[in-house]
Amino acid sequence: MDQAVTLSRRQFTSQISGSLPEQPELILVMDLDGTLLGGTVNQRRRLYHWLENRRERVLQIFCTGRDRASVRGLLAGDNGLAPPTPHLVISDVGCTVACGSSLETVPIAVDPIEAQWQAVRPRLDGCLQGLAGLSPQLRNVERRYSFNYEPRVFDASILQSLERLGVDCLLSDEQYLDVLPAGVNKGSTLLNLLALLDLPHGRVVTSGDTLNDLAMFQTGLNGVMVGNAEAKLRALHPELPNTYLAEAHGCAGIAEGLRHFGLDCPG
């Protein structure tokens, strides 16, 4: 490991509470809604138990469109059966990186995204106000704008002109619109995180179910598209050679994919 990489890893780990596995045998990156939170109660319990027992061997990363407040509520058990606390969280569709236990942001990973967002945000003022079929999400999102949209009403052609202002516009699950700093997404933030921590790409498995997970699958890392993935994402599966399309849904789909990649995971 060269000196620059050693320094970046040291700086990163100094900015989080708790510790990360030194030499993880697996780096498991999991979307939440429809993926880690999907499947039957028994399927979820089995995978959560498996993860909890492998905290020293499996580096666990949530990669979600949720904001940190929503993730905090989930881990507190506000919505029933809660998954184990991850080591790290990529939230806001890639715009935030946080420590899993404290959910405090990690400056070395977040500051460049924040600077990019602050540069582009003034250009967006008023651009998406009052548009038919579009309503802001009442959430504490960071470094992005987030909306619900009605596909039969909202005119998505406006997004092309919006992207010329220096943002990417991401439609997913036939109901969500995220306006992100250009080039920032789940995949780009994950790759940057792996570089900061000098983690081997060959030990990574990603998982997801909607179009906001596509960027993870396009990294070339091994991935699991769970069986309940939205139709528009499933249609792109032939273009994603390192992504396994599971038959099972949610947690069971993650477990099926891990077995496909040669890992011992419960059914």
Query: Can you tell me whether residue 65 is helix, strand or coil?
Result: coil
Q: pLDDT tens digits for 66-122?
A: 999 999 999 988 566 899 999 999 999 999 999 999 999 999 999 999 999 999 999
Separation of alpha carbons 188 and 169, rounded Å: 15
pLDDT digits (tens, 9 = 90+) for 2-31: 667 778 899 999 999 989 998 999 999 999
Which tens digits make up the pLDDT trace of 146-156? Answer: 999 999 999 99
Residue 107 DSSP one-character state:
H
Q: Which pLDDT band, with edges at 50, 70 and 90, does 125 fall under?
A: confident
**Domains of the chain by range and CATH?**
3-109+184-260 (3.40.50.1000), 111-181 (3.90.1070.10)
pLDDT value of residue 139: 78
For residue range 25-78, what is the model confidence (pLDDT) as tens digits?
999 999 999 999 999 999 999 999 999 999 999 999 999 999 999 999 999 885
DSSP state of 109: H
Handedness of CA 9, 11, 12, 18 (dihedral sign): positive
For range 151-176, the mean pLDDT:
94
Please provide the DSSP assignment of 122-178 as one string: HHHTTTTTT-TTEEE--S---SSEEEEE-TTT--TTHHHHHHTTTEEEEEETTTEEE
Res. 193: pLDDT tops 60: yes
Q: What's the confidence (pLDDT) of residue 2?
A: 67
Please, what's the largest Cα pairwise distance for the chain?
Answer: 54
Residues near 160 by beta carbon (within 8 Å), at least 6 away in sequence: none
Instruction: Grade residue 265 by pLDDT with cuts at 50, 70 and 90.
Output: confident
Closest by alpha carbon to 187, among 175, 177, 195, 179?
195
Residue 220, C-beta contacts closer than 8 angstroms, at least 6 positions apart: 201, 242
N residues, the chain: 267
pLDDT confidence of residue 206:
98
pLDDT tens digits for range 227-254: 999 999 999 999 999 999 999 999 999 9
What pLDDT is recorded for position 129?
87
Neighbouring residues of 23: CB distance < 8 A, sequence distance ≥ 6: none
